[in-house]
Amino acid sequence: MAEAAVARETLFALRETIARLEGRPIPALAAAAHEKLAATPATRGAGLATSLPELPVLATGVEDLDVAMQGGLPLDALTEIRSLGLRDAGAASGFTLALAAQVGAQAAGADAAAISPILWIGDTVATMEAGLPYAIGLRDFGLEPTTFLQASPRKLEEALWLAEAALGSAAFAVVILEVRGNPSRFGLTESRRLALRAKAAGRPLFLLRQGGEEEASSALFRFSVEPAPAQARPLPDGSVLGGSIGHPAFRLTLEKSRNPAPLSITLEWNAHDRRFAPVSDVQHPAFPGEHAAHSGADLSASADRPHRAQALGAIVAFDRQA
């Protein structure tokens, strides 16, 4: 009997640990709560219908994406956002800033004075390649530069320490950790430690991996972000302004989630309303004479010149020297 009880307690402890890592309600605590409610005469029968409070999530406003994430992005976990190459660093950074703007708006609500700052921790190598956040660009994405703090530690170990300390302080609405590629000093162990710290602090941590490959991590969700062509700016009458550039757009792939099938979707970010909207590729208007710079379209024929290279001229044979 004693051995069975010990084995049962060990099983409960393992289930609790797995639930904390996955961000789900803890089974043992849930069972204890149900037993306590069922034992109370006034609440007998209603205990099983009472659910534990849901974990805080950020609903992006895009139905397909929120359904794939089971309600939204968790606000007490590690979320990874990666770009396929450093050439896409702007798209990955922009999507991360858009999510941070949504988190800040949801945390502040109607009280503008309650806005918490956002901390961007940039790895030195990643900063040298991708650059630093720009104040005017932050405002264009719906963020206030006065509430945006940026740190550039010299070493990756210092960046990891700063991320843990920032999460533990609970002074920031969002902590963004930017790294380049897949450094050997940042693996599954380090990501698990950051995920547990975010869970304990109840704060979101965005891991921005610039030009990195897929690898095992403790992130609940992992996004792959690529740039997408922006639509033309809409006019009040419903038409579009030819030759203009509208809201920034991202081609998003949800690579890691509880959903076995990855989700690919194109979103545009409205900084004024701080919301995403799905975009279909067929909605991008093509105006006469306009072509994408990298579309691979045929080049126009040169004026007053042949359109293809001519054959080589006659071969001149030289006499052999005696």
Q: Is 266 helix (H, G, I), strand (E, B) or coil?
A: strand
The helix or strand, by DSSP H or E, that contains position 264, with its residue range, turns out to be strand 263-270
Cβ atoms of residues 153 and 166 within 8 Å: no
Q: Is 2 helix (H, G, I), strand (E, B) or coil?
A: helix
β-partners of residue 256 are 222
Q: What span, in angstroms and rounded, lies between the C-alpha atoms of 292 and 169?
A: 47
- What is each CA distance from 75 to 115, 198, 282, in whole angstroms? 16, 9, 34
Cβ atoms of residues 291 and 297 within 8 Å: yes
β-partners of residue 265 are 252
60: nearest Cα among 26, 93, 98: 98
- What are the structural domain ranges in the chain? 2-43, 57-282
- What is each CA distance from 285 to 51, 222, 244, 245, 264, in whole angstroms? 48, 31, 11, 11, 21
103 Cβ partners below 8 Å, 6+ apart? 58, 75, 173, 174, 204
Given CATH 3.40.50.300, say whether it is the number of domain 57-282. yes
- What is each CA distance from 42 to 33, 38, 39, 45, 306, in whole angstroms? 15, 9, 9, 9, 93
Q: What span, in angstroms and rounded, lies between the C-alpha atoms of 249 and 279?
A: 8
pLDDT for res 30? 43
Q: What span, in angstroms and rounded, lies between the C-alpha atoms of 157 and 76?
A: 22
pLDDT for res 18? 61
Q: Environment class of residue 84 by beta-carbon count within 10 Å: exposed (0-12), middle (13-18) or buried (19+)?
A: middle
Per-residue pLDDT of the chain (322 residues; tens, 9 = 90+): 455 555 555 655 566 666 555 555 544 444 444 444 344 444 333 333 333 334 588 999 899 999 989 889 999 999 999 998 888 998 999 999 999 999 988 876 645 445 789 999 988 887 887 788 888 889 888 898 999 999 989 899 999 999 999 999 988 999 999 999 999 889 999 999 999 999 999 999 999 999 989 888 899 999 999 999 888 777 777 777 777 788 889 999 999 987 776 789 999 998 888 889 898 764 444 444 444 455 454 555 556 665 566 666 666 666 655 5
Structure tokens at 102: 């949504």
